[in-house]
Amino acid sequence: MNILEKQPPTCYNLNMNVLISVGILILAMLIMAFLQITPGVFALSYHYAIGKYSKKKASRLMLFFIIGVEIITACVLLSVYYLISILCFGNFQPETSILTWIMIGILFAFSILSAFYYYRRGNSTKLYIPRKFARALDSSAKSIKTNSDAFVLGVISIACELLFILPLFIVSAIELMRLDLHSIPINLLAILLTLAPLFPLFIIHYKFQAGYNLANILKSRSKNKSFNRVILSLSYLIIAVLIICFKVNLQ
């Protein structure tokens, strides 16, 4: 054996299909990062926690909120992935399945919904959720006392957003399943997908640490409402178009 012979470097086989799948996953991450219930509840509970307790305790409570968000997101993604993989063991083929067309329809619907109905009318950052839910979230944020309260509030805030998250996770699970293990680090993509809702929370946390207050954060949220709407709507639309153009077998 020639000892000078070197091992060939690991090279990823990036074909068009893989790039489209990765693109869909990145857009899904973008949407997850732009959804607004969790950052809203986080900012509110951080504000109340600072108002009631020491900075150290407030930071600890928010850490548990973040852990709650991360765990429920990972659990939902894994559950959806598991269900899709069970379907794939049968005769389910995403390219020809009716489920894919249903998902495309839902994605188009969400593209319209996020453009026109994600925020309520007016200058505030009121979201689409029923007012009873919003009031319950508000009073829960106000009454956080223990780490478990914060953890549960993180879980509930993601649960309130499930309507917008579930179709994304179904599409993402299908794409993750389609990706070739040797072509791209799938685990990394899945982890990034579950971490995506945490990005705005870290930004808010950083802002509070840097001396900003709830008023500053609310004003910036209110100012960027239209931008947020456009990003959400376009991302849903592009995912739907990419699936129609590259993933569905039209023959």
Partner 1 sequence: MKEFNESEIIKDLKIDARGVGIPEGAAEIFINRTMKEAKKTLKNKSIITETDLKRVIVKELKKYHKDLAYVYQNRDTIV
Which residues of the chain form contacts with partner 1 (CB under 8 A)?
37, 40-41, 43-44, 47-48, 50-52, 122, 124-127, 129, 134-135, 137-138, 211, 213-216, 218-219
Query: What is the spatial distance between Cα 72 and Cα 194, in angstroms, rounded to a whole number?
Result: 9
Nearest residue (CB) to partner 1, 126 versus 182: 126
114 Cβ partners below 8 Å, 6+ apart?
164, 229, 232, 233, 236
Question: Based on CB atoms, which residue is closest to partner 1, 69 or 179?
Answer: 69
Output the smallest distance, CB 141 to partner 1, in A: 8
- Per the CB < 8 A criterion, the answer to whether 29 and 231 are in contact is no
Instruction: Please give the structure tokens belonging to residue 86.
Output: 């069970």
Nearer to partner 1, 6 or 121 (CB): 121
Virtual CA dihedral for 89, 90, 94, 98, nearest 10 degrees? Answer: -150
Q: How many CA atoms lie within 13 A of 153 on its CB side?
A: 32
d(CA 168, CA 208): 30
Residues in the chain, overall count: 251
Q: How far is the CB of 115 from partner 1 (least distance, A)?
A: 20
Give the nearer residue to partner 1 in terms of CB position, either 51 or 185.
Answer: 51
- Give the nearest distance from C-beta 235 to partner 1 in angstroms: 22
CB of 160 to partner 1, least distance (A): 8
How far is 119 from 176, CA to CA, in rounded Å? 31
127 three-state secondary structure: strand
**At its nearest, how many Å lie between partner 1 and the CB of residue 129?**
7
**Token digits of residue 105:** 């329809």
Q: Which is nearer to partner 1, 199 or 212 (CB)?
A: 212
Distance CA 83, CA 99 (A): 13
- Residue 106 CB coordination number (10 Å): 18
69 neighbors 155 (Cβ within 8 angstroms): yes
Of residues 25 and 35, the one with the C-beta less far from partner 1: 35
Q: How far is the CB of 73 from partner 1 (least distance, A)?
A: 18
